[in-house]
Amino acid sequence: MDYSSSLVDVSLDLNLNPLRRNDDRPASALSANFMGLGISVSSVKEEEAGALVEELNRVSAENKKLTEMLTVMCENYTALRNQLMDHMARNSKRKSDSTTTNNNDNYNLPLATNNNNGASESSSTDEESFKRPREEVIKAKISRVYVRTEPSDTGLIVKDGYQWRKYGQKVTRDNPCPRAYFKCSFAPSCPVKKKVQRSVEDQSVVVATYEGEHNHPHPSTPEAAAAAATASSSGRGLAIAGSPSLAAGPATMTLDLTKSKPKPLAGGIDGPEIQQLLVEQMATSLTKDPNFTAALAAAISGRMLQRNRSERW
C-alpha cells in the first residue's frame, strides 16, 4: 500500500472542543475552552483576550509546523517500509519453505517512535497477524517498534517509560549488530520481555521487539512509580520519570496508547485508517493527559504574564 498518495490529515487539534477550529474562534469562546485546562479567563480584559487569540494563532502555526514534520515522518516511513517489503520479498524467496509463521519476521507494523505498551493493539495490525487465528495473536502479544536514534548513540536503549533489566546479549546470524535481551524489572511478576537490535538496513534505527503484556501500571503513574521505587532503589536505567508525554527527551516522545484502546478493525487493516487512528490516539492521549494540559496551561499563562510584564515595564 502506498501511503505517500494517501497521507492523512495529521494536524493535531489540541483544543478540547473538537468541533471548532481555533483560528476562527471569537475571543469570547476562549473561556469555555480554557475551563478545561483549569483556567478561567472570563474576567480577563479585552486586550488580554486579544493576546490570547494571538497566542492561539502562534500555537496554530506551531501545530502546522508539527503537521508538516509528521507528514515528512510519514513519507520517511513509506520509504523505509518499501525497503523492508523489498527485503522481505527477497528473504521469502530464500526461505520459501518456512512461510513466516515466526512473529519475528513481521515487518508490517506501523512505525512508532515509542510505544509504551509493547502489547499495544496497534502493533497487531499487520497482514500476517490477520492470516493467523486471532487467539494466537493475543496469546503471543508480540509487537515490534522502530526507533530512530542519534547516530552518536551506540547503545541499545529504547526509552519507553518502563524499567528493563538486561539479561543477555547475542550476535545473530542475520545481523552483525548484537541483539540485547531485556526483562521487565517487575519480573518475575511481569512476564514482558524485550529484544533490542539495530536494523541491518539502517543502523540508526533500533528495532525493539516486545513479547507479552505488562501486568502492572505504567511506571509514570504514581502507584507504579512507588512500586518501581521499592522494586529498585537505584534509579539507574529509569528511562523516564514523571509524565510520559512531557518528560521524554528531545529525541523521543512517549504516547500512552493503552489508555484509549483502538477499535478492532475489520477488513482493511493496513491503510490510511490506521494512520488516522494513530493520529486520533495521539491527540486523545495528549489531551487526556492531565500533566500535559496542566503544563500547556502553565506555559500559556506564563507567557501571558511575561507579556503583560514586558508591556508594563
Contact with DNA (CB under 7 A): which of 17, 40, 82, 172? Answer: 172
Would you list the DSSP string of 272-297? HHHHHHHHHHHHHHHHH-HHHHHHHH
Handedness of CA 212, 144, 224, 163 (dihedral sign): positive
Closest CA to 119 of 107, 137, 146: 137
- Number of residues engaging DNA in binding (CB under 7 A): 24
> DSSP states of 43-109 as a string?
T--HHHHHHHHHHHHHHHHHHHHHHHHHHHHHHHHHHHHHHHHHHHHHHHHHTTTSTT--GGG---P
CB of 206 to DNA, least distance (A): 14
Residue 33 phi, psi dihedral angles, 5° rounding: -75, -40
d(CA 246, CA 233): 24
Q: CB of residue 140 vs DNA: minimum separation in angstroms?
A: 12
Instruction: Please identify, using beta-carbon distances, which residue of 14 and 228 lies nearer to DNA.
Output: 228
Selection from 209, 264, 222, 271 nearest residue 7 by Cα: 271
* Binding positions for DNA, 89-148, rule CB under 7 A: 98, 104
Whose Cβ is closer to DNA: residue 64's or residue 95's? 95
Per CB under 7 A, the list member of 18, 168, 176, 290 interacting with DNA is 168
| 236: contact with DNA by CB under 7 A | yes
Q: Name residue, grid cell 495521539.
A: 282
- Single residue of 20, 25, 87, 179 touching DNA by CB under 7 A: 179
Judged by CB under 7 A, which of 131, 170, 298, 306 binds DNA?
Answer: 170
Among 24, 135, 174, 311, binds DNA (CB under 7 A): 174
Residue 193 or 214 with smaller CB distance to DNA = 193
Which positions touch DNA (CB under 7 A)? 98, 104, 164-170, 172-174, 179-181, 185, 193, 195, 231-234, 236-237
